[in-house]
Structure 1
Amino acid sequence: MNTRESRPRPTGNVSWAVELYRRGKDLELMHRAMGFATLVLVTLAPLLIVVAAADPLIGGGFALWLVDGMDLSGRSAEVLSQVFSPPRKVVGGTSVLGGVLLAVFGVAFGGSVQNAYERVWRLPSGPWHRIWRQAVWLCALIGYLYAQVQTRAELAGTYRMLISVAIGVLFFWWGQHFLLGHQVRWRLLLPGAVATMIGLVGLRAFSFLVFTPLIVTNAVSYGAIGTILVVESWLIGAGFVVYGGALAGHLLCDRAGHLLEHPEPPRG
């Protein structure tokens, strides 16, 4: 893929922020972020709850990951854990068919992320037989979230934060390269992985300031549905950061003149 893309490279007269906004609009970034949040809550969350319930070391792993990702504590953490902690005997109550459906829906989530990365790098959609990549990426995602929960349980402070950020950069760096079928060089994907983690750290700080008191207030006013609405809002922000970080990395490489550009896939 050494051909130049059809649109001209942005000149210095176009600000970085304006060009990033334009590309985000072309990508339908907000729409994709909302789809990301919906898929996580509807397909990935049940799968993670079952996986966490099967692990004797970490019960309620999905709830713990949300608590950690949103930087919650005290009453807000308790309220969220009550909503998302797995019920007793959840593994025994899950049929084989149910487990298969959860896995299929989880792979569909991986396909959605892959499609967004392909749009960011203006690559054609991968063939259907590459679905195994989505399955492997899903397993790696579960492992990444598991590692995040484990570091929360074992470490604390600056040391834990540095390890968590380093693991996150490696995951998003590898994830883009793997889902794109090794069509983009490693060095071009690193800025996007770093930008994604910077965004997630910023989202975590925002969550601490805004969502921590909001969860308690919504739980009192609306019950469990109020908590779910706050979590859904945070997941939309996470989707915006995941896709926006990759988009920012692509633009940074483009601006620096390091990008081997790809032709845009035909629309429609």
Structure 2
Amino acid sequence: MPTSGRRPRSGSRFGVSRWRERTARLVAAAKAAHRRAETRFPVVTHLAERMVSVNIFDTATRLAAQCFLTAVPLLFVFAAYAPPVVRDQLLRSMRSVFGLTGPVDTGVQQLMQPPNESLRQTTGVVGGLMVLISATAVSRAVQRLCQRAWAIPRGGIRVAPWRWVAWLALWIGALLLQGTLHNGFGLGVWLGIPVTLVCQTGLWWWTQHLLLGGRITWRPLLPGALLTAAALTALSGTARLYLPRTLDRTVAEYGSVGSVFVLLSWLIVVCLAATVSVSTGAVLAQEPFLATRLGSPPPGRDPEAQLP
């Protein structure tokens, strides 16, 4: 008589055990390959691990969003309260950095027109101060980037708020001077590129030291500053080739929403380059060859213990 339940075939059991054995062999082979890579290419493996711990795409996207949400209100504050010479300088810098032309340039000019009383009343002194205070969110985002790049545990840094404000003030001043730097003080791009590279190196060198609260000494921070400056200088050169045409086309097809999408996408690329460069610089500075020369703290150690 037929039975109600069927026993599993021995062949199926054999198939399951065979797949388990294959999976175990693949896992063992992957672990062995990882160990060989760590032995032969320690820099590559350390860099890959650091990129995963930094979570570069998430960090870059958050930083880009903070920059965009900060830039728009700051433009209104500049339009309402900045002196005419400062507004003109900011407009020249934006044209130089982004290569603004056509309707986008016209829109920015209208935004930066001399303010009327209604604009001042709408913005208000209190509103302007709130915008400046909320803009420190960018400072905090960059601080988290530097902290993750150097594998400093969460809560391991307590930075005084004045450092956030100081960082923001210096970068606003640097933005105002971008047009002058890109043009090489009026002498041409041939001088503007090395000047921009030197200035970017100094800014990112100082940024890491300031926002890390001095827990990492100056010399170990130099590789990250050089890499970040080189990446951002290269991107600033390509921005004038890519952004003007793309902005004009998207504004013509989709209106102002298209320009928001293009600018935010470009900011994500810029922030991703900065995130990767700072993290790579931290890994290189902690490799034995450079660590002994720069006095870098070993990976996974408390940097404060290495300070003199």
TM-score range, shorter chain: 0.7 to 0.9
Task: Could you tell me which runs of 5 or more consecutive residues in structure 1 were left unpaired when the two chains were aligned.
Answer: 1-7
Name the residue aligned to 1:92. 120
| Deviation of 1:216 (Å) | 1.7
Alpha-carbon deviations, 1:51-107, whole Å to 9, x = none? 36603224265554444334x2544xx525525843541772421221121111111
Residue in 2 aligned with 1:51? 78
Does structure 2 retain, via aligned residues, the 8 Å contact 1:121–1:250? yes
For the pair 1:26 / 2:53, whether they are aligned, the reply is yes
Indicate if the aligned counterparts of 2:158 and 2:213 stay in contact, CA closer than 8 A.
Answer: no
Structure 1 residue 171: Cα displacement: 0.8
In structure 2, the residue matched to 1:107 is 136
> Aligned residue for 2:10?
none
State the secondary structure of the residue aligned to 2:85.
coil
Q: Could you tell me how far apart the structure 2 residues matched to 1:45 and 1:18 are? A: 40
1:260 paired residue number = 297
Matches within 5 A, 1:8-23: 11=38, 13-14=40-41, 16=43, 19-23=46-50
**92-101 or 189-198, which deviates more:** 92-101
> How far apart, in 2, do the equivalents of 1:148 and 1:56 lie?
17
What TM-score comes out, normalization by structure 1 length? 0.82
CA RMSD of aligned residues (A): 2.8
- The verdict on how the C-alpha distance between 1:83 and 1:244 changes in structure 2, with shifts beyond 3 A counting, is same
Contact 1:118/1:180 (8 A) holds in 2: yes
**Does the CA-based 8 Å contact 1:123-1:262 persist in structure 2?**
no
Higher relative contact order (CA 8 A, sep 6+): 1
**What is the alpha-carbon distance in structure 2 between the residues aligned to residue 193 and residue 263 of structure 1?**
21
The CA distance in 2 between the partners of 1:28 and 1:60, in whole Å, is 39
Cα 1:164–1:69 change in 2 (3 A) is same
Q: Compared with structure 1, are the counterparts of its residues 127 and 16 closer, same or farther at alpha carbon in structure 2 (3 Å cutoff)?
A: closer
1:150 and 2:180 are equivalent in the alignment: yes
Compute the displacement of 1:27 (Å): 0.8
Match of 1:211 in 2: 243
Runs of 5+ unmatched residues, structure 2 = 1-34, 303-308
The letter of the residue matching 2:140 is G
Query: Which one of 173, 179, 183 corresponds to residue 211 of structure 2?
Result: 179
CA contact (8 A) 2:94 2:100 kept: no
Q: 1:73/1:46 Cα in 2 relative to 1: closer, same or farther (>3 Å)?
A: closer
Equivalent in the alignment of 2:170: 140
Aligned residues: 254
CA distance in 1, matches of 2:143, 2:213: 10
TM-score normalised per structure 2? 0.72
